[in-house]
């Protein structure tokens, strides 16, 4: 099985994005599955274009997109992507859409197609704080999950797609004003998610 795992570039004035820091440290192989890691620009338009190219080039069996969720106190496994762009800040291309769609003719929402509940269960069994989330927001992360699910719905057989939000790293919140999680635990969380998706979990 081939699993594409993506992280994002830093945005909003941050120097690093924990999603890419964690993704790039994943092994190339978990069990029998190959992990392909790529960094995606934190831009509404370019993120979808880059993902489109990766799906065509790599033809993965599953896609796990990962992003930073500043202020989160645990791993958030996203269940839903909505057809809405409504940005509180500009993306890295300077775009700040209000009340736009991701795909003009697309459905209002898609559900993630990775086993979200099972991933949360196994993360907790491994003492990694995690929960299901029913909103990935309306910024670039939601946009990317929506694009992934919209595109994959047109591929036969459809790759399974999902999104995992990670908290800040400790170095991003040194004054303790927001929660954080260690890089080691984030990497373990993503490895666990990949294992569950590949059906190779050890419980
Ligand atoms: N988090 C943002 C976009 C990029 C990222 O890492 C989000 O939650 O939409």
| HEC letters along 27-80 | CCEECCEEEEEEEECCCHHHHHHHHHHHHHHHCCCEEEEEEECCCCCCEEEECE
Question: What is the pTM (predicted TM-score) of this model?
Answer: 0.97
What's the pLDDT tens digit per position in 131-171?
999 999 999 999 999 999 999 999 999 999 999 999 999 99
CA of 12 to the centre of ligand 1 (A): 9
161 catalytic residue (yes or no): no
Set 21, 65, 74, 78: catalytic member = 78
Cα(25)–Cα(187) distance, integer angstroms: 7
Q: Which atom of ligand 1 is nearest to the CA of 140?
A: 9
pLDDT at 31: 81
Is residue 175 classed as helix, strand or coil in its secondary structure? Answer: coil
- Which tokens sit at 75? 């791993």
β pairing state of 75-78 and 130-133: parallel
In angstroms, the CA 120 to CA 8 distance is: 22
Does residue 6 have its Cβ closer than 6 Å to ligand 1?
no
pLDDT tens profile 65-121: 999 999 999 999 999 999 999 999 999 999 999 999 999 999 999 999 999 999 999
Residue corresponding to tokens 């790529």: 38
147 is catalytic: no
Q: Whose C-alpha lies nearest to ligand 1, atom 8?
A: 141
Mutation test residue for ligand 1: of 8, 138, 166, the one with most atoms within 8 Å of CB: 8
């Amino acid at each position: 099985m081939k699993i594409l795992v993506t992280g994002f570039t830093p945005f909003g004035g941050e120097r690093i994005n924990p999603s890419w820091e964690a993704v790039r440290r994943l092994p190339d192989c978990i069990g029998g599955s190959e992990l392909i890691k790529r960094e995606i620009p934190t831009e509404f338009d370019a993120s979808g274009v880059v993902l489109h190219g990766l799906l065509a080039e790599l033809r993965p069996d599953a896609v796990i997109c990962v992003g930073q969720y500043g202020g989160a106190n645990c791993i958030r496994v996203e269940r839903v992507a909505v057809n809405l762009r409504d940005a509180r800040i500009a993306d890295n291309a300077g775009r700040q859409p209000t009340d736009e769609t991701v795909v003009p003719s697309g459905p209002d929402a898609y559900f993630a197609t990775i086993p979200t509940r099972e991933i949360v269960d196994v993360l907790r069994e491994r003492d990694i704080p995690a929960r299901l989330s029913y909103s990935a927001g309306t910024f670039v992360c939601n946009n990317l999950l929506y694009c992934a699910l919209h595109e994959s719905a047109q591929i036969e057989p459809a790759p399974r797609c999902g999104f995992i939000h990670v908290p800040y790293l400790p170095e991003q919140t040194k004054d303790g004003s927001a929660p954080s999680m260690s890089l080691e635990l984030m990497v373990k969380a993503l490895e666990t998610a990949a294992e569950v998706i590949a059906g190779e979990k050890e419980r």
